[in-house]
């Protein structure tokens, strides 16, 4: 058998790149599907696999090697299942924008809740800076202070003018980076600005809805000429978390988890109505962002309601 890395997923077929640079279209051996019942896909782009021939000489993925990490999300179609977005990544890049389409700040915190449990360094890139007015720039600066203050990297870029593209180039160099964002934020255009030879398909904002149009259908890994690779993912409309418990949510908001050591109930506090909660006190004093806290409560409510629904169904 030969060792390779999955570089493209198209549903039932996977493209595997081997160590000599050659590519092969492969299927998955049937038992792999049966062994992983919690995800809609047993393997993802970035997975290292062992491939052997099937009875007709075509590629057959027979083994998935142990992962360093993975990024998973709730399946948008099968609410009780999870979907693997990528595996074995060095870092993640979330592309967003203040305008066109308008910023959904809550989505940033939901995305961070995908990468934080696996300690995947994440950079938040605000694209389309050339279209920002004074109010938009003020909003960016507030968010920059917020997220840099809790340890995330933040960049302001414009794919159109090239501002900030060099810094993004340096960030991507020699790393395997998961690149994601909601539809319409200019993800493909920005990647093309960093690596023009890729020529990823780009799309426009819908005049009717004001929302972005999907241009990426399946996840795919692309090598970068200056070193490293990116894993381009389909535009994400929403994120839910049927794989997390309420305490998982509390433990993966960095500043909330850090402050929870001072709570009366310590690591068991959900920071909602508990007495002597240091997190709620920190929100009131401004030490913890009220915006982040509101997003935390919103996600917590989603998870608690979903868990209650599943118990009721059982």
Measured CA to CA, the distance from residue 245 to residue 240 in angstroms comes to 12
- Please answer whether residues 70 and 87 qualify as being in contact, where contact means their C-beta atoms are separated by less than 8 angstroms: yes
Residues 6+ apart with CB under 8 A from 198: 191, 192, 222
pLDDT of the chain, 314 residues: tens digit per residue = 999 999 998 877 899 999 999 999 999 887 665 454 467 888 999 999 999 998 888 899 999 999 999 998 877 676 677 888 899 999 999 999 999 999 989 999 999 999 999 999 999 999 999 999 999 999 999 999 999 999 999 999 999 999 999 999 999 999 999 999 988 899 999 999 999 988 776 654 433 334 444 444 578 999 999 999 999 987 776 787 888 999 999 999 999 999 999 999 999 999 999 999 999 999 999 999 999 999 999 999 999 987 654 433 33
Cβ atoms of 45 and 222 within 8 Å: the answer is no
List of domains in the chain: 2-66 (2.40.50.140), 72-232 (3.40.50.300), 246-313 (1.10.40.50)
- What is the model's pTM? 0.89
Distances (CA, A) of 225 to 122, 196, 197: 22, 10, 9
Could you tell me where the DSSP H helices lie in 91-164?
105-115, 134-149
User: Closest Cα to residue 164, out of 199, 193, 132?
Assistant: 193
């Amino acid at each position: 058998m030969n060792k390779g890395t999955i570089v493209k997923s198209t549903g039932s077929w996977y493209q595997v790149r081997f160590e000599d640079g050659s590519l092969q279209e492969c299927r998955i051996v049937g038992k792999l599907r049966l062994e992983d019942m919690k995800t809609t896909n047993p393997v993802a782009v970035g997975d290292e696999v062992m491939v052997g021939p099937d009875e007709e000489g075509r590629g057959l993925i027979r083994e998935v090697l142990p992962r360093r990490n993975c990024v998973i999300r709730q399946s948008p179609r099968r609410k009780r299942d999870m979907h693997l977005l990528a595996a074995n990544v060095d870092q993640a890049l979330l592309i967003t924008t203040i305008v066109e389409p308008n910023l959904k700040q809550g989505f940033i915190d939901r995305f961070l809740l995908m990468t934080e449990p696996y300690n995947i360094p994440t950079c938040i890139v605000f694209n389309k800076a050339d279209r920002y007015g004074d109010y938009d720039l003020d909003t960016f600066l507030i968010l920059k202070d917020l997220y840099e203050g809790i340890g995330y990297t933040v960049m302001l870029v414009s794919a159109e003018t090239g501002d900030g593209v060099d810094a993004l180039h340096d960030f991507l160099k020699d790393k395997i980076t998961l690149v994601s964002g909601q539809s319409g934020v200019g993800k493909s255009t920005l990647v093309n600005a960093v690596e023009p030879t890729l020529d990823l398909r780009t799309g426009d904002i819908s005049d009717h809805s004001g929302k972005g149009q999907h241009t990426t259908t399946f996840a795919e890994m692309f090598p970068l000429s200056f070193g490293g690779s990116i894993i381009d993912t389909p535009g994400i409309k929403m994120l839910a978390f049927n794989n997390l418990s309420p305490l998982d949510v509390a433990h993966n908001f960095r500043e909330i988890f850090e402050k929870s050591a001072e709570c009366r109930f310590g690591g068991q506090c959900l920071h909602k109505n508990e007495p002597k909660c240091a997190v709620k006190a920190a929100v009131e004093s401004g030490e913890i962002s009220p915006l982040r806290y509101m997003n935390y409560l919103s996600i917590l409510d989603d998870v608690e309601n979903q868990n209650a629904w599943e118990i009721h169904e059982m």
